[in-house]
């Protein structure tokens, strides 16, 4: 076998390139059908324990590096955290008030509170293996009920969607399984709707297709609009940094600072809604 | 067969580490591509056809953990593995300049083909990223390459001692 490989190297190269193209085509077709691709699944199943081990070692290393910090830095951080706790306590009080009011209004209207979505918790075990795509691997897959297209969230807001699944892992991305990166969005204050799309730079998001007279200003919070039914409504997407008019002047758009940085998320939740 | 086990394990280990690289390693949008480094360093100690087979495996692994463009990953990595294997035949690979230039040049060529197959709106950003990645890979390849040479030499000495 090895002797054959050495003697017919051009044939081997051509055959492997052809096989690569065929597998690439089959992979794309599987993605279009939201199905999993067997060779990819095999690799992911084999790699999962190794990825978990490396991720664990790095987490322990990070924790050790975090612990061994100078006293002055810890005191500064402590002071910042105290200030943050004070602000958050005020916010909690305000939200309790809002939540109580919403409950009372719902009861008054005779509406039954909708049961919350079922969530599956997962840990990110690998992220951005290639600079060309903003993707990550989570340690739960098809066996936990995860399907391509489902929304991935964190306690701080919307993170992205599942693009492919294997029995024990799933790939998540800011884009949906068809590669479209848009998610329905709205301004929390004025309810003006638009579409939030990815930027090449993961530090920013782009909110576009806003009506030219939409009420939006820097500092506004942008949340998911829930259009399409897969992504739950009201999840924070980001905060407006800058509002820019689009060429032609029919619509305007805004640059957002995402509420969840894809690169920094560790524990995530997949919303188990049925995807058509 | 034992000779091919270490490169395959090295590619799998590189894939596991690749997804856990710290953010501070990213310069100009580029980070070291450890799977490519493992592939080039190992293919430089092998022959073109075996390099191509390892490239195929590396592409499949990288495509699977990325979850996108599996075909582009397989084709570019197969060609890179073959080219690195060919360099061993044509050049004296004990020269330390060979792995450095080979890794830089092959990373640039391979990623440029990838960019053509998967165009991005920010072309200049893409090219800058490829340049940063090529520089990273050339620096890292020399360590992996010499580690592999060292294990190979140790293996040969052990075999010779056993014969004596």
Residue A267, Cα to own-chain centre: how many angstroms? 11
Least confident of A46-55, A96-105, B36-45: A96-105
In tens, the pLDDT along A150-193 reads: 999 888 888 888 988 989 999 998 765 555 567 889 999 899 99
Q: Does A50 touch chain B (CB under 8 A)?
A: yes
Q: By CB neighbour count within 10 A (0-12 exposed, 13-18 middle, 19+ buried), where does B66 fall?
A: buried
Give A16's contacts in chain B (Cβ within 8 Å): 52-53, 55-56, 74, 78
Question: Any bridge partners for residue A130, and if so which?
Answer: none
Report the range out of B72-76, B90-94, B117-121 with the highest average pLDDT. Answer: B72-76
At residue A157, the pLDDT reads 86
**CB-CB under 8 Å, A126 with B16:** yes
Mean predicted lDDT score pLDDT of chain A: 82
Give A135's contacts in chain B (Cβ within 8 Å): 66-68
Tell me which residue in A13, A25, A50 faces B52 most closely, judged by beta carbons.
Answer: A13
Mean predicted lDDT score pLDDT of chain B: 84
Mean pLDDT of A236-251: 85
**CB-CB under 8 Å, B65 with A131:** no
Say whether pLDDT at A204 is over 90. Answer: no
Q: Does A63 touch chain B (CB under 8 A)?
A: no
Give B68's contacts in chain A (Cβ within 8 Å): 130, 132-133, 135, 163, 173, 179
Q: How many residues does chain A have?
A: 276
At residue A238, the pLDDT reads 92
The three-class DSSP label of residue A132 is coil
- Give the ipTM of the model, two decimals please: 0.82
Q: List, as one string, the DSSP characters of B86-137.
A: HHHHHS-TTSTHHHHHHHHHHHHHHHHHHHHHS--S-HHHHHHHHHHHHHHH
Residue B73: name the closest of A132, A125, A199, A136 by CA: A132
Confidence label for A62 from pLDDT (cuts 50, 70 and 90): confident
At residue A175, the pLDDT reads 66
């Amino acid at each position: 076998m090895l002797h054959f490989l050495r003697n017919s190297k051009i044939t081997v190269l051509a055959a492997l390139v052809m096989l690569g193209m065929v597998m690439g085509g089959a992979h794309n077709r599987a993605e279009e059908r939201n199905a999993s691709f067997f060779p990819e699944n095999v690799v992911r199943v084999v790699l999962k324990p190794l990825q978990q081990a490396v991720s664990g070692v790095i987490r322990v290393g990070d924790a050790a590096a975090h612990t061994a910090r100078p006293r002055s830095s810890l005191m500064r951080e402590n002071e910042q955290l105290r200030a943050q706790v004070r602000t958050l306590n005020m916010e909690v009080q305000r939200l309790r008030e809002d939540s109580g009011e919403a409950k009372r209004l719902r009861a008054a209207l005779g509406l039954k509170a909708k049961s919350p979505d079922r969530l599956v918790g997962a840990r990110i075990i690998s992220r951005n293996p290639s600079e060309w795509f903003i993707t990550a691997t989570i340690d739960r897959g098809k066996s936990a009920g995860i399907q391509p297209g489902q929304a991935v969230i964190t306690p701080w807001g919307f993170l992205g969607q599942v693009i492919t699944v294997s029995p024990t892992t799933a790939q998540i991305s800011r884009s949906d399984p068809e590669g479209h990166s848009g998610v329905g969005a709205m301004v929390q204050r004025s309810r003006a709707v638009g579409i939030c799309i990815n930027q090449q730079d993961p530090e920013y998001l782009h909110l576009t297709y806003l009506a030219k007279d939409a009420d939006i200003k820097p500092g506004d919070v942008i949340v998911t609009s829930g259009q399409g039914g897969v992504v739950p409504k009201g999840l924070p997407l980001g905060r407006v940094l800058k509002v820019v008019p689009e060429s032609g002047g029919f619509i305007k758009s805004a640059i957002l600072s995402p509420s969840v940085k894809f690169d920094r998320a560790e524990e995530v939740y997949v919303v188990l809604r049925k995807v058509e | 067969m034992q000779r091919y086990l270490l490169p395959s394990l090295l590619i799998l280990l590189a894939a596991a580490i690749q997804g856990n690289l710290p953010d501070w390693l990213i310069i100009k949008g580029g980070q070291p591509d450890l799977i490519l480094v493992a592939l080039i360093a190992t293919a430089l100690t092998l022959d073109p056809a075996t390099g191509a087979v390892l490239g195929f495996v590396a592409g499949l692994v990288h495509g699977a953990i990325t979850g996108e463009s599996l075909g582009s990953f397989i084709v570019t990595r197969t060609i890179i593995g073959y080219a690195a294997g060919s360099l061993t035949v044509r050049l004296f690979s004990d020269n330390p300049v060979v792995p450095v230039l080979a890794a830089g040049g092959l990373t640039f060529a391979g990623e440029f083909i990838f960019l053509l197959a998967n165009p991005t709106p920010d072309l200049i950003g893409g090219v800058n990223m490829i340049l940063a990645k090529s520089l990273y890979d050339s620096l890292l390849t020399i360590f992996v390459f010499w580690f592999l040479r060292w294990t190979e030499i140790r293996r040969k000495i052990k075999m010779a001692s056993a014969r004596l």
